[in-house]
Structure 1
Amino acid sequence: MSQTDRYARQTALPEVGARGQARLASAHVLIVGAGGLGCPCLSYLAGAGVGEITLMDPDLVEESNLHRQPLYTMSDIGLPKVEAARRHLGQAHPGVRLYPIQSALTPLNALAALARADIVVDAADSIAASYTLSDACMAKGTPLISASALGQSGYVGGFCGSAPSLRALFPDPPETAVTCASHGIMGPVVGAIGTLQAQMVLKVLLGHSPSPLGQLISLDMADLRPGAFRFDAAEEPSGRLPFVARQHIVAEDCVIELRPPEEAPIPAIPQALRLSPKELETVALPLDRRVVLCCRSGLRAWRAARLLQQRGYGDLALLAAAA
């Protein structure tokens, strides 16, 4: 089958056409996460003829993934997701160049990862990765399509580029760090939201109007109820709390390990002082040094940093030890 035949139904649309198909073929998309959101997004972007896709994910395929990640099969169990994805998509869409990176997205590699990307997809299911990606995309002016799903609901939004950042719409993360592993997820929910991510990416690459940048779409699949609104005028928050990597920490930093010994017998940073969130309410920390707060997901560190901001501390950073 020729490329003309492969994309005939797509190029028949006046808003795509041969010129739009050529734009897709020359585009480079970075997708962070090859799980429930990443699988449908990746499949539809490859199927649409996006020329280059970089895929980042550190995980291996597990049998518990298969109910919501139909890109993989039983024969892929134990293999890196990025390699399994490259094999399956290469068989179905040989014209797409897929670059697998078996690594988590961190503050250390974020800028390098999106250096060549025309647009970024956040499908990582990580608070630290989402805000790190938003900060990097905002700095480079790169559009970001970010999504989240849990249980029977979720959302997808277009950030950065010509739109406000993730921080502008969500200046603080959720109160609890529940995940699909701890709280559960229905497969069609992530399928629907990941597919919406792909559609938003295509509309940005094709220059459609109105742009999905600055728009959020929510899905409540329990009640089968969608919602949407625009946030073009959302203001960037002050007092931004950046995520940093272990390699960014210097000897002068005051590092606080928030995890108790039973959770983290060895602190993420050897020089760290172990304190509970309760102790942070009264302890005196140096005002002339950066304070780096560490926990597993970054959520406890974020809450602790907000508390320290109220106490007058200004130079603060967050370390997600699992990132």
Structure 2
Amino acid sequence: MRPLVEPGPDLTPAQRERYSRHLLLPEIGELGQRRLLAARVLVVGAGGLGSPALLYLAAAGVGTIGVVDDDVVEASNLQRQVLHGTGDVGRAKVDSAADAVARLDPAITVVRHRERLTSASAARTVAGYDLVLDGSDTFETRYLVNDALVAAGRPWVWGAVLRFDGHVSVFDPAGATYRDLFPTAPPPGSVPSCGEAGVLGGVCAAVASVMVTEAVKLLTGAGRPLLGRVLVHDALAMTWRELPLRPDPRRTGPEHLPTVTVADLLSRPGAVVVDVREPDERARGLIPGSLTLPLGELLADPAALPDGPVVLHCARGSRSAQALRAVLATGRTDVVHLDGGFAAWCAAGGPVD
């Protein structure tokens, strides 16, 4: 591929010293380093993959780094999220990330996006960047990143880890994308999260280092990127395998479901809000006045929804989207779902019972 970024100004003497090992590489050299310094790269997630990726991007001299994360640092993160320290527990991850990058190189600009990507914000958030590294940990976010970058016509780097395994690839709208690898999301609860199944910290570092290597190659035009290939890492066997990935000719593009934002919902006093979460989730907080109809019950009988305008919601939007598909299949046209779910409602300061 051609380099994604045009070179910036000539290097200063201090930059020549800092990046001297890059300058010795013919595939990068001074011109490539100037491209890196002029680049704008967005990292989705400052967790297990985003932590080492952010450090190595900054060390490589990527001039502007955006970081998207709405979470705070927890003690259980420190086993693998090397960007953060004990003193950062309770802080916003984007703030901890910015401080860590500043300690490494104060000349790097860090743009903090303390938010969770939604269908309403994804396109806007990725628009200002040359390249995106997706280290998110939910299928919902990965599809959002995929669809936003397909629409923007730009490549991106994806990585994922679980237990002792990792996957890395580079997607491009002109070739294979994440939807070719995973056409549909698995049923809720069928794939455990790292919080449920665990993950070895070193696997995060191994996968993140490949992601950053691919990013540097894409930005500078060096080497052959992982386009049309998925790298699979098995740390227990200490193997790396390469699987081919081709575009699915049946792929029809991103799905568009009728969606409302929190602001929309607050301005719809006549809509009935139906919560498709499980009862134990509602016990931890709910939207005032909402009705409960767990996803399993709704899928078994979509006609159980009340008449009139209905807004479905779950924790973050994936289950309500699944419920909405089933309802729309019955011919209903007055049902939508809440973008970002209950998490978005809370983040926007909506009242909670």
Smaller-chain TM-score bracket:
0.7 to 0.9
**8 Å CA contact retained: 1:156, 1:217:** yes
**8 Å CA contact retained: 1:152, 1:221:** yes
Return the alpha-carbon distance in structure 1 between the equivalents of residues 85 and 286 of structure 2: 38
Q: Could you tell me the TM-score, scaled by structure 1's length?
A: 0.85
Matched AA of 2:103: Q
Alignment partner of 1:146 is 2:165: no
Correspondence list, 1:204-283, <5 A:
204-235=218-249, 236-237=251-252, 240=255, 245-247=261-263, 256-265=274-283, 274-283=293-302
- Larger mean Cα displacement after TM superposition, 132-141 or 58-67: 58-67
Per the alignment, residue 195 of structure 1 pairs with 209
How big is the shift at 1:225? 2.1
**8 Å CA contact retained: 1:295, 1:319:** no
Per the alignment, residue 120 of structure 2 pairs with 108
Give the RMSD, CA atoms, in angstroms. 3.1
Return the alpha-carbon distance in structure 2 between the equivalents of residues 260 and 182 of structure 1: 18
Percent of paired sites with the same residue: 31
How big is the shift at 1:135? 1.2
Q: What whole-Å deviation, never above 9, does each CA across 1:121-141 have from its counterpart, x for those lacking one?
A: 111212221111111111111
Return the alpha-carbon distance in structure 2 between the equivalents of residues 179 and 82 of structure 1: 22
Report the CA distance shift for 1:166/1:282 in structure 2 as closer, same or farther (over 3 A): same
Q: How many residues align?
A: 322
**8 Å CA contact retained: 1:144, 1:161:** no
**8 Å CA contact retained: 1:30, 1:120:** yes
Report the CA distance shift for 1:115/1:276 in structure 2 as closer, same or farther (over 3 A): closer
**8 Å CA contact retained: 2:45, 2:67:** yes
How big is the shift at 1:142? 2.4
Correspondence list, 1:1-323, <5 A:
2-175=14-187, 176-235=190-249, 236-237=251-252, 240=255, 245-247=261-263, 256-265=274-283, 274-284=293-303, 293-301=312-320, 303-304=322-323, 319-321=339-341, 322=343
Report the CA distance shift for 1:209/1:36 in structure 2 as closer, same or farther (over 3 A): same
Secondary structure of the 1:219 match is strand
How big is the shift at 1:298? 4.4
Q: Could you tell me the TM-score, scaled by structure 2's length?
A: 0.79
Extract unaligned runs of 5+ from structure 2. 1-12, 345-353
**8 Å CA contact retained: 1:204, 1:213:** no
**8 Å CA contact retained: 2:260, 2:336:** no
- Larger mean Cα displacement after TM superposition, 262-271 or 58-67: 262-271
**8 Å CA contact retained: 1:134, 1:160:** no
**8 Å CA contact retained: 2:276, 2:313:** yes
Q: What whole-Å deviation, never above 9, does each CA across 1:183-238 have from its counterpart, x for those lacking one?
A: 21110011111111111111111123533233321111122222222324334246
How big is the shift at 1:107? 2.0
Q: What whole-Å deviation, never above 9, does each CA across 1:263-314 have from its counterpart, x for those lacking one?
A: 225655966663542342333389xx99865322545445545656776789
Q: What whole-Å deviation, never above 9, does each CA across 1:85-115 have from its counterpart, x for those lacking one?
A: 2112112112211112222222232122112
Return the alpha-carbon distance in structure 2 between the equivalents of residues 39 and 108 of structure 1: 26
- Larger mean Cα displacement after TM superposition, 145-154 or 24-33: 145-154
Return the alpha-carbon distance in structure 1 between the equivalents of residues 253 and 148 of structure 2: 17
